[in-house]
Structure 1
Amino acid sequence: MANEKSPIFGEAQYTQVSDDAFVTPFQAVIEKDDVAEEPKLQQTIGLVSGSALVAGLMTGSGIFSTPGLTLTLMGSPGATLIMWLLGAGITFCGAACYIELGTLFPKSGGDQLYLDSIFRNPRGLMGFLFTFIFLLCVEPGSIAANATVFGEYILYAALGPKSRITDPYILDNLGWLQRAIGILGVTVAFGMSMFSIKWALRFQTAFTWLKITVLALISVSGLVVISGVTHVPMSSLWSHPFRGTTTVQQVCSTLFRVLWAYDGFKGLNFCLGEVKNPQRNLILCSSFGTGLVTIFYALTVVSLFSVVSMEEAQTSQELLAGLWGTKVFGSIFGEVVIPVAVAISCLGSTAANVFPFSRVIVEASSLGYIPYGRYWSRIHPRFGTPLLGLCLGYAVTIVYLLAPPPGEVFSLLIDIVGYPNWLFTGITITGLVYFRYVEPSLHRPFRVWLPLGYMYMVVAVFLSVIPFVPPANGKIISNHGVPYYIAPLVAVIVVLLGFPTWYFQFYRRQCKK
């Protein structure tokens, strides 16, 4: 059945194609243009692999690399733990909103599909801007950040802490060695997705269980240390859980890092067209994956802070989990096995991010958002994967790995990625609330409680405004002279570049036909 009248979009704008799905006129036009002979991506993602994909996207380098950074920012373990719990609550709000959007639009595309379908004028603008920033900034930056931590932990396992390295050549080029290993990890991650979807999903499932095992080991070991039955000395951090003061800029910067660690809850939405029984499995996979990860995150943070001191956290930064392993398990298992397991976990997160990245390239190419889109969206007849699209994503990711200046590469990448990511996530959830009012009669298999959407919108505004407010010392954390406004400014510039690109690449060429 069709909606007979819409106050915003006019008559018969949305056509019901089943009891719980519909297509928009914009989608219908695209589907008519599809070439029947072209191979299509198949529905290969089930309940187990879908849950593993959600958990795998969320569980990556973030939980192993950002606790030390967040503790340094907040200044006390109690305040830091509150921020991690707040991040969990914000994540649940966002996940619930994206479940409604995914069950309402049970197709691949994620935010691009939702924004194009909800904000229809100017045609394709919001979806194009999201896709532009996602492909040029958010996803390749996230993959590069994961790969950077992968390289750091591999070198930690091979050489030990930086304080014990004596070779001057290695010390002078440590950052570039980490990036070189990161490039190897990115190559492996993209290679798995290029040649077999089934094997890529199998590897992601295996990586996810490894990551959950590592988190479980850290969580249980921390609880054992806290109980006092071991000879591992406890840190004095928890003796003063709320020492010190925290500024609003520090809260904002901490939230960026915490939410980056939680990011991935909406990853299944980008490849929903490949999910079996998508409207049922999206609810189950997102709920299970998000719930499992948030529980382990809280326990992991408590465990890490129960062993290391404030000075050690400030010194180790992203390598806090490696230092924790050395203090708890000793120089062999703790200093080699734990860092290798963490590195493999980061590699798994890199591979998990590649999957939705390539799917957005395919959808954007089919809509005319990318020049020569028919090549990038083509599914390889033998491998059944978007091989050329993955090659394009690989090239952009390598640029992000190599382009940042020496120094705090990881923190800079998180800030560059975080600002546009949460800006557009907030816009998408604003669209969900708006759509409730303009199209109230559409059948929604899942309806989120709207106050959860409002809460997420407030957080998105906070994260969009505060990064431009100057802190007292003109910088946050950075010891390499990077001004506080550089990362959000880069993100805003990329967004602004999207407007003329949209006009010349999409609007002028397609919307005036």
Structure 2
Amino acid sequence: MKQQDPTMEARLSLKREVGLMGAVSFIAGTMMGSGIFISPQYVLLAIGSPGASLIIWACCGLIALLGGLCYAELGTVIPESGGEYIYMRRTVGKVVAFMFVFSFVIVMRPASATGIALSFAEYVVAPFYSGCAPPQLVLKCVAAGGILLLAIVNCLSVRLATGIQVVSMVIKMLALAVIIVGGVVTFFRGNAEDFEDSFEATNVGVSSIGIAFYQGLWSYDGWNTLNYLTEELKRPEVNLPRALLIAIFLVTGLYLLVNVSYLTVMTPKELVSSNAVAVTWGNKMFGSWGWIMSVAAALSAFGSLNGTFFSGGRVCFVAAREGHMPDILSMAHVRRLTPSPALIFTTAVSLVVLIPGDFQSIVNFFSFTAWFFYAITLSGLLYLKIKKPELPRPYSVPIILPILVLIVAIFLVLAPIIDDPQIEYLYVALFILSGAVIYVPFIHYKLCPGLLTKLTTFLQLFLEVAPAEKNL
């Protein structure tokens, strides 16, 4: 194979191909995935009553909106891809940023992708296992197939991945519209008894509220998607905040209406015991045609998984470019201009996490880790506002917003631990801190550089990739 000309390597960068429509689709499409078709039963199970569950869903939307607006300022002050990683790198330092990217690459993004892939598989196989739970081996094989297919798509083309995101968003919007209309029709027929005494049996324990928020916020996960691909966004100073507002208002409204529909058509007991909520809803509304909802929910989760891969690969790519991951992960394909090595690595880790994973524990531990780092990121925004007010800010939020979201983040991290301590949270905390231990020998002192250089050269030729520079 011919060696790449050095001048071409220096000019290689990711293209700005994501406009406002694509941006809204990435946010809303990533958020509206598996969560709204799976999480309602877990929110209701944790909080105990239909009325309280609706309040949880509304509050989750508000938290996502406020967090998104804070991130919009960060994305315009620091206009680089990489999300939390690059913001921590620029505000709190290299060690904390490495702790984040280590946790993100090994735990957070694979856990997110695995949870979505499992819910995708749940809906794909649901019509074939009516009335009983599908075997775990079947679920995991289908989930692995979905992960591999989308990894290939994202390695081949940014436009193809964006196109899948837009199409899947349209499908999931139609599916949610069907659920909403069905619920409205049922409600006006007089099936509203589940809303009588709707706050009875509410669990008011700190741990119950925290777990309910974890499950609800899982459905809103993706509100920060654009911050991972800022360098590929057209006019980020305009499109970043605009896309956030459009997408999060849209998603919050749809989620509330869908939950009302679920509670109108199904009893709380039916909702909590369902393996696939949308399928149970479809069977009650459409009888033998209920499988249509299974197909729509599967396609919705597929789109969400696509958005997760698109954004997650970019964090790994940026971290490698900053010297915190192997050099090969900072390279892009010389013709397709996709960060294919980072995407391949993320896929491999996700498949490993899939082997022992189950949906509910994945969500809880993902949320605990995510909100720990959200708190650090928001602290960085406060630092920039107070210590560096002279920085250009194409978009800015009042200082009270990051303070409020920071308080929420601290509550979500501490609440489950204080009220109901579990040894698993200690393991997660120790894993996060282990990033600092790994940083010293492998990043600061760069152990084994010769071996990594040879491996990088081989993979660079094999994968047809070259170093990519920042696209500011």
Relative to the length of structure 1, the TM-score reads: 0.83
1:422-433 superposed matches below 5 A: 422-433=371-382
Q: Are 1:367 and 2:322 an aligned pair? A: yes
CA contact under 8 A between 1:136 and 1:396: conserved in structure 2?
A: yes
Higher relative contact order (CA closer than 8 Å, sequence separation 6+): 2
Instruction: Call closer, same or farther: CA 1:78–1:34 in 2, change over 3 Å.
Output: farther
Q: Are 1:413 and 2:362 an aligned pair? A: yes
- Structure 1 runs (4+) deviating above 3 angstroms are 33-38
Q: Are 1:488 and 2:425 an aligned pair? A: yes
Q: Which amino acid aligns with 1:209?
A: V
Q: Secondary structure at the match of 1:330?
A: helix
CA contact under 8 A between 1:235 and 1:308: conserved in structure 2?
A: no
In 2, Cα distance between equivalents of 1:321 and 1:504: 49
CA contact under 8 A between 1:67 and 1:301: conserved in structure 2?
A: yes
Q: Which amino acid aligns with 1:276?
A: K
1:428-467 superposed matches below 5 A: 428-467=377-416
Q: Are 1:351 and 2:316 an aligned pair? A: no
Q: Which amino acid aligns with 2:173?
A: I
Deviation at 1:470, TM superposition (A): 4.6
Name the % identity.
30
In 1, Cα distance between equivalents of 2:423 and 2:184: 40
Q: Are 1:502 and 2:439 an aligned pair? A: yes
Q: Which amino acid aligns with 1:431?
A: G
CA contact under 8 A between 1:415 and 1:488: conserved in structure 2?
A: no
Deviations 1:422-453 (A, max 9, x none): 11011101111121111112221111122221
Partner of 1:298: 256
CA contact under 8 A between 1:76 and 1:237: conserved in structure 2?
A: no
Deviation at 1:238, TM superposition (A): 1.1
Q: Are 1:112 and 2:61 an aligned pair? A: no
In 1, Cα distance between equivalents of 2:424 and 2:180: 33
Q: Secondary structure at the match of 2:391?
A: coil
Q: Are 1:92 and 2:56 an aligned pair? A: no
Q: Secondary structure at the match of 2:15?
A: coil
In 2, Cα distance between equivalents of 1:401 and 1:215: 28
CA contact under 8 A between 2:96 and 2:436: conserved in structure 1?
A: no
Deviation at 1:489, TM superposition (A): 2.7
In 1, Cα distance between equivalents of 2:163 and 2:262: 30
Q: Which amino acid aligns with 1:490?
A: Y
Gaps of 5+ in 2: 1-5, 448-472
In 1, Cα distance between equivalents of 2:156 and 2:391: 40
In 2, Cα distance between equivalents of 1:286 and 1:251: 26
Q: Secondary structure at the match of 1:66?
A: helix
CA contact under 8 A between 1:415 and 1:487: conserved in structure 2?
A: no
Q: Are 1:236 and 2:173 an aligned pair? A: no
CA contact under 8 A between 2:120 and 2:143: conserved in structure 1?
A: yes
Deviation at 1:235, TM superposition (A): 5.9
Instruction: Call closer, same or farther: CA 1:460–1:383 in 2, change over 3 Å.
Output: same
Partner of 1:30: none
Looking at secondary structure, tell me which structure has more helix per residue: 2
Q: Secondary structure at the match of 2:161?
A: helix
1:313-332 superposed matches below 5 A: 313-316=271-274, 318-332=275-289
In 1, Cα distance between equivalents of 2:348 and 2:42: 29
Partner of 1:66: 39
In 1, Cα distance between equivalents of 2:230 and 2:427: 31
Q: Secondary structure at the match of 1:379?
A: strand
Q: Secondary structure at the match of 1:44?
A: coil
Deviation at 1:354, TM superposition (A): 0.2
Q: Secondary structure at the match of 2:335?
A: coil
Q: Which amino acid aligns with 2:251?
A: V
1:72-471 superposed matches below 5 A: 72-120=45-93, 124-162=94-132, 174-228=135-189, 234=191, 236-246=193-203, 247-316=205-274, 318-332=275-289, 334=290, 336-370=291-325, 373-404=326-357, 409-471=358-420
In 2, Cα distance between equivalents of 1:341 and 1:490: 37
CA contact under 8 A between 1:38 and 1:379: conserved in structure 2?
A: no
CA contact under 8 A between 2:110 and 2:349: conserved in structure 1?
A: yes
Q: What is the aligned length?
A: 441
In 2, Cα distance between equivalents of 1:207 and 1:303: 22
Gaps of 5+ in 1: 1-32, 163-170, 472-483
